[in-house]
Structure 1
Amino acid sequence: MDVVLGFMIRSDTVQITPEILSLIAEIDEFKGAWRALGSLAPDRLSALRRVATIESIGSSTRIEGSQLSDREVERLLSRLQIKPFTTRDEQEVAGYADVMERVLSSGPDIALTENHIQQLHRDLLTHSEKDAWHRGSYKTSSNSVAAFDDDGRQLGVVFETATPFDTPRLMSELVTWFNCERAVSGTRRLHPLLLIGVWGVVFLEIHPFQDGNGRLSRVLTTLLLLQAGYAYVPYSSLESVIERSKEAYYLALRQTQGTIRSETPDWQPWLDFFLRAVAEQMRRLGRKIEREKLVLATLPELSLQIAEFAREHGRITMGDAIRLTGSNRNTLKQHFRALVGHGHLSLHGSGRGVWYELRWELP
C-alpha cells in the first residue's frame, strides 16, 4: 500500500504494459542465470568489474558535462593516491570512484536513510573544492536541471525542481515510501525494478542537493539494484547505456517529472526508458561473456590452452604455459604475441615478472 504523508507517491498508477512485463522477465531470467556463471575466476570478475567501473565513472560524469574520456579516467584512477586533482573534471571523477567503491564493496550494509544519502553526497564531492560549502547538505537555493551536448555546452533547462523549503519534507516522504514499499510482501508489492525506477525519477524531480544529483541518482540506482539481488550489476555499466541514449534520457525524465505532483502521474515514459536501459546493461554483459566463449572457440589449440588457463586462473605466465603445454619457449612466445596483438590477452610487468590476463575491452 502507498504511504500517505504530506504527499502520496501515486505508484498505484503505474501501468504494467506487455513491454514492461517482457523486459522484467528478460532481466530477471539473466539475474537467475548469472548465479550459474559463478565458475568465473575471481580475477576474471575483478577485470570485468574494473572495466565497468571505469565506464560508469566516465559516462556518469560526462552526462553532467565532464570532458574526460574512459582512457583518461583509467589513467586518473591509476594514480588516485599519488597526485592531487587540479581540474573540476578530475575532482568529480575521483569522488565518483570513491563512492562507487563504497557501494560495490558495502552495498548490503548501506541502509537507505536520509543520513546515508547525505553521506554519499558528501563523499561524492569530497575532492571538489568548489562544492565544499554544500557537501552532504540539502540545497539552500533553487536549482534546475540543464542538459549538455557532447562538447560540454549547456543545451538549456530540462525542468524545474523542488524548492529548498520543500526539499527536506519531500525527501523524508520519498525515503519512507520506498522503505515501506520494499518491505511489503504479496501480490500488492510493486516489482523491485519498478520500485527502483519510481524512486529514481522522484529523486531527480526533487533534486535535493545543490549539485551532484544526477551522479548521486545513478550511484543510488546501482546500490538499490544490488540490494534487490541483481548481483551482476557491478560487471556492466548502466551509466554507459544512459550516456549513449542521453537525449532519450532527458526526454523521459521531463515527460514523467512534469506529472509527478498530479493526481495521475504518467510513469510510463521514464519506466520504459529505465527498464530498456537496465535490459541493455544486462545484454551487454551477456555479449561480453558470449564473445569470450566465441573467441576461445576459434583459437589454435595451443593458444586456446593458454587463454583457457588465463580465464580459469585469472592470469598466466610463461612458466605456467610451459608446464601446461610442454611446448618450447620460442613457440609459446609466438602464441603469446599473437594473443596480445589480437587483443585477447593483456601484458603486465616486465622481464622475469611478465604475466598475462584475458582482456575485457574498453569501447
Structure 2
Amino acid sequence: MKKFDYTTLNNLQLDNEAINKLTTIYQLRGETSSYQIDYREELEKLVAVAKIQSTDASNRIEGIFTTDNRLNKIMMNKVQPYNQNEQEIAGYRDVLNLIHENYNYMQISKNTILTMHSRLFKYAGDNWGGKFKDINNKIIAKYEDGHEEVRFNPPEAYLVPELITQLSEQYERSNHQRAINPLVLSAAFVFDFVSIHPFRDGNGRMSQLLMLLTMYQLGFEVGKYISLEKIIEESKADYYQALAASSVGWNENQNDYLPFINYYLGIVVRAYRELIERMGLVHTQQKELTAEDLVLKTLRKQLRPLSKAELVELIPRYSQISIQRALHDLKQKNKIQMIGGGRSTKYIAI
C-alpha cells in the first residue's frame, strides 16, 4: 500500500530553482504585508474579481462553463443554476466562500475533504457528492487541441479512505513539526491528493481548493486577491507535464516531488507579482483621474490588447459597470479600437 513519507518527501533535495522561488515568495510576501492597511478598498474589489475568476477558471479546465452574464449572477446569488454546468459552478462558489471565511477552522482531515466535496456537488443532484469513489478511475490529461491522454492509474477505490486518512495525518503532523518548508509541504500534499484521485469527479477542482486552503492556513493569502486557478488554467500544459514527471514511481514510494513543487512555487510567485503589479497601478493612479482616463492610461502602459475583465483587474478603483461605460465612450471618441468579439473581445489604444 502507498505510504507517505512526509518526513523527507522521499529524500527530496531542492534544486536552485526551487530555492530561488521560495526566497522570492518570502520577499514578495514581505512587500505586500502592508497592503491590508494601504489598499483596503481596492483589495476588497480584487477579492470579488478573484472569486469570479477562480470559479470560472477551475470549472473551465474541466470543460464546465456558462456565459459571463450568468456567471456573474450566479456568483452574486442572483439566479438559481438551471443546468449541470451552472450547478457545479454554484458549488465551487460555495466552497470557495467557505474557505475565504472559515479557513482557520478547517483542519486538513478526511472529514473536511468529504464535506468540501459534498458542497461542491450540492446543487448537482448526484448521489456520490461527499463520498469517495466506488469504482476505479484513471487520471486523464485534457489538452488545448481537444485530445486526452491517460496520465496515471491511481489507487483502487477500496484503498482510498485509508489513503486520505494517512495523507491528512502525515501532512498535519509534518506541518506541526516544521521539518519541511510549509509551502513545499503544501505542494506535496496537493500532488498526493491528485494522485490518489479519491472521487468519481471533481478531483482537479478539489486539489485547487485545497491549495488555496493550505496556503491560507500557512499565511500566504495571495490567492484571496489573485486567482490561482486562473494562473493554472493559463499554464495547463506545464501543469500536466509537472504532474506526469512527479508521478513516476509514485505507487512504489519512489517518485520525485520536485517537478511539481517547482511548478507550484512558480504559481505562487506569479500570483504575488500580479498582486504587486495591480497595487502598483493603483498607487500611480491619481485620485482625480476618471474611469476613461485610467482605462486609456492602462491600455497605453500595457502595450497590448486587454479584455474588459483584465481592465477590471488592473483598475480596482472603478466597478465593472464604470469600466464598461468608459470603454463604450472611448470607442465612440475613437480613442480605442475593439479587437475580436464575444468572450474574446479586447481593446487597444489608438
Smaller-chain TM-score bracket: 0.7 to 0.9
Q: Distance in 1 between matches of 2:99 and 2:293?
A: 38
Query: Counterpart in 1 of 2:318?
Result: 346
Query: 1:154, CA displacement in angstroms?
Result: 5.2
Query: 1:194, CA displacement in angstroms?
Result: 0.4
Q: Distance in 2 between matches of 1:232 and 1:348?
A: 22
Mean alpha-carbon deviation: is it higher for 163-172 or for 60-69?
Answer: 60-69
Report if the CA contact (8 A) 1:197-1:274 is conserved. Answer: yes
Query: 1:22, CA displacement in angstroms?
Result: 0.6
Give 1:231-250 correspondences, 5 Å limit: 231-250=221-240
1:25 to 1:338, Cα distance in 2 relative to 1, 3 A = closer
Q: 2:135 aligns with which of 141, 154, 165?
A: 141
Q: Deviations over 1:185-207 (max 9, x none)?
A: 4xxx1001100010011000001
- Paired amino acid for 1:108: N
Aligned residue pairs, count: 305
Q: Distance in 1 between matches of 2:206 and 2:270?
A: 21
Secondary structure, counterpart of 2:90 in structure 1: helix
Query: Counterpart in 2 of 1:284?
Result: 274
Query: 1:168, CA displacement in angstroms?
Result: 1.1
Query: 1:16, CA displacement in angstroms?
Result: 1.1
Q: Calculate the TM-score normalised by the size of structure 2.
A: 0.80
Any stretches of 5+ residues in structure 1 without a counterpart? 297-303, 308-334, 351-361
Report if the CA contact (8 A) 1:256-1:265 is conserved. Answer: yes
Report if the CA contact (8 A) 1:98-1:124 is conserved. Answer: yes
Report if the CA contact (8 A) 2:138-2:153 is conserved. Answer: yes
1:149 to 1:90, Cα distance in 2 relative to 1, 3 A = farther
Any stretches of 5+ residues in structure 2 without a counterpart? 298-310, 323-344
User: C-alpha root-mean-square deviation of aligned residues, in Å?
Assistant: 2.5
Tell me which structure has the larger Cα radius of gyration. Answer: 1
1:293 to 1:158, Cα distance in 2 relative to 1, 3 A = same
Q: Distance in 2 between matches of 1:274 and 1:171?
A: 21
Q: Does 1:223 align with 2:209?
A: no
Q: 2:56 aligns with which of 55, 58, 61?
A: 58
Query: 1:150, CA displacement in angstroms?
Result: 4.4
Q: Distance in 2 between matches of 1:70 and 1:23?
A: 34
Report if the CA contact (8 A) 1:54-1:70 is conserved. Answer: no
Secondary structure, counterpart of 1:346 in structure 2: coil
Q: Distance in 2 between matches of 1:20 and 1:349?
A: 41
Q: Distance in 2 between matches of 1:194 and 1:20?
A: 9
1:207 to 1:337, Cα distance in 2 relative to 1, 3 A = closer
Q: Calculate the TM-score normalised by the size of structure 1.
A: 0.77
Query: Counterpart in 2 of 1:113?
Result: 109
Identity %: 25
Report if the CA contact (8 A) 2:232-2:239 is conserved. Answer: yes
